[in-house]
Amino acid sequence: MTTRFGRRSILQMGGGLLAASALLPRYAFAQAKTINYWHTFTSQSEQAGLDAVRALFTAAHPDITVIPENIPNPEFMAKITAAVVANTRPSVTMVSSERFQDLRAMGALTDITDRVSGWERRGDFDDSRFASITDDGKVYGVPAFTFVDWIYYRKDWFEEAGIAVPTTLAELHDAAVKLTDPAKGRYGFGLRGGPGGQNPVINMMEAFGSPVLHADGTIGLDRDKAIEGVTFYASLLKDGAAPPSAPNDGFRQIIEGFQTGQTAMIYHHTGSYQDIASKLKPGVEFGTMAIPAGPVTRVARLAYAYNTITKPEDADAAWEWIKFWGEPDAAVAFLEKTGYFPASTVAAQDQRIVGNPMYAAAAETLGFGIPQPSFPGAAGWAESTVLPAFQRVLIGDATPEQAVDEMIAGLAEASQ
């Protein structure tokens, strides 16, 4: 049985804020010489990538100064909400696709439909790249880069054990069990059950036939199929193929576990490529694979990060900054420092990308990957309901049935 909630009820949470935002005065789009940029980059490679893009931008626009400010992911929604209420918002904000509807509902974003339509680089982007930042025909941002889901695997371990690269989730499970040797401190899969681990749970439920967001705009879970997905994913720990620390492991733990030879596979995205390559030899010690297929469908996310104008007074200078990320040289420079894949289809054809076999799995995923489900309250539901419920399954405090029931109840609450 699938429990669904209507889009009308979901949007009610943001309706008051939208109405209030309509009363704000219209700003003159005066050119600002200094703009501030809120982003969620935290790693050294991300900072290096941002520095590379800024250097290119400064060379092209010496009259505009960009002042970046890191906003940690866990604090982002609270901080941007406070800035909107206090009218102290930044000039430009980086927005993940799953947060778009919440920010649009509170009136945090500026409609840039006309600017995008007249942009000389618009044809470099497939229409699907703008889908997650468009509502009611209005565009609110420009794609900066893409998080392409894939799996890193210890190529040398697989070859030593004579195991083929998995093409299905069942094969992934079998490979993880076979590559596990607790006596050597080795585990087949680095499961992220701690901070940031909610998205793979949602993806597993969808791979087993239970999408969250439906074509008609309603949200809901097919209880039985969602239970199958949660049961499968938790079985990687239950069957001993994941480290005992999995319920608390976040990004840094799974990356370091893979880098130091604790785990044979981790589920992440292209953004961690440079971190992995700094410790292990690409194509020799580690490889990359496209996400294996589930019993019902194959789910890998193309999670676009967008740059949006959040302070209308700075719109002209802000537009120069956000559209610059669409320049092929900027996109490739950012990828070379971070591993983050270009959103531009033109930049993705650069020889520095297509000539590198390590990016073949990402290129394959562009053909079947889909965005994260986006609806008002999506990010909060995933972080505050899905992840804690799954963690309780991992530590034995809840059954998959109980966890899925919590998720369904959380969706109902989010739609009120």
DSSP line for 205-259: HHHTT--SB-TTS-EEEEHHHHHHHHHHHHHHHHTT-S-TTGGG--HHHHHHHHH
Residue 32: is its pLDDT beyond 90? no
Q: Which of 75-79, 125-129, 371-375 comes out lowest in average pLDDT?
A: 371-375
Distance of alpha carbon 362 from alpha carbon 219, whole angstroms: 28
> In which band, very low, low, confident or very high, does the pLDDT at 4 lie, cut at 50, 70 and 90?
low
Give dist(CA 87, CA 204) in Å, integer.
40
Q: Which of 124-138, 190-204, 302-316, 335-349 has the lowest mean pLDDT?
A: 335-349
**Close Cβ partners of 134 (under 8 Å, ≥ 6 residues apart):** 140
Query: What domains can you pick out in the chain, each with its CATH number?
Result: 2-146+303-365 (3.40.190.10), 148-301+374-414 (3.40.190.10)
Task: Give the confidence band of 3 by pLDDT, cuts at 50, 70, 90.
Answer: low
Cα–Cα distance, 226 to 343 (Å, whole number): 31
Mean pLDDT computed over 218-234:
97
Decide the pairing of beta strands 138-139 and 265-269. unpaired
Residue 7 confidence class, pLDDT cut points 50, 70, 90: very low
Tens-digit pLDDT profile for residues 341-351: 898 988 888 88
- Residue 330 and residue 50: Cα distance in Å, rounded? 10
pLDDT at 200: 96
The per-residue pLDDT for 81 is 96
The pLDDT-based confidence of 353 (bands split at 50, 70, 90) is: confident
In sequence order, the β-bridge partners of residue 95 are 306
Q: Which residues, 6 or more positions from 238, have their beta carbon under 8 angstroms from its beta carbon? A: none
Out of 22-36, 121-135, 253-267, 331-345, give the one with best mean pLDDT: 253-267
Cβ(102)–Cβ(77) under 8 Å?
Answer: yes
pLDDT of residue 5: 52
pLDDT at 340: 86
**Alpha carbon distance 391, 397 (integer Å):** 9
The amino acid present at 212, given as its one-letter code, is: V
pLDDT at 18 over 60: no
Q: Which of 30-44, 250-264, 329-343 tops mean pLDDT?
A: 250-264
Mean pLDDT across 186-195: 97
Using the predicted structure, report yes or no on whether residue 222 has a pLDDT greater than 50.
yes
* Residue 6 confidence (pLDDT): 52
Task: Summarize pLDDT for 178-188 with one digit per residue, the tens.
Answer: 999 999 999 99
Question: What mean pLDDT, rounded, does the chain reach?
Answer: 90
- 227 vs 349, residue with greater confidence: 227
Length of the chain: 416
pLDDT number for residue 2: 61
| Percent of the chain whose predicted confidence (pLDDT) is above 90 | 74
Q: Rounded to the nearest 5°, which phi and psi values hold at 285?
A: -90, -30
Give CB contacts under 8 A, 24+ apart, made by 386-392. Answer: 386/198, 386/201, 386/202, 386/410, 387/195, 387/197, 387/198, 387/201, 390/193, 390/197, 390/198, 390/201, 390/230, 390/233, 390/234, 391/193, 391/194, 391/197, 391/247
Flag whether pLDDT at 269 surpasses 80: yes
pTM over 0.85: no
- Do strands 92-96 and 302-309 pair parallel, antiparallel, or not at all (unpaired)? antiparallel
Distance (Å, rounded) from C-alpha 22 to C-alpha 167? 50
Higher pLDDT, 37 or 14: 37
Separation of alpha carbons 315 and 325, rounded Å = 16
What pLDDT is attached to residue 354? 86
Query: Does residue 27 surpass a pLDDT of 60?
Result: no
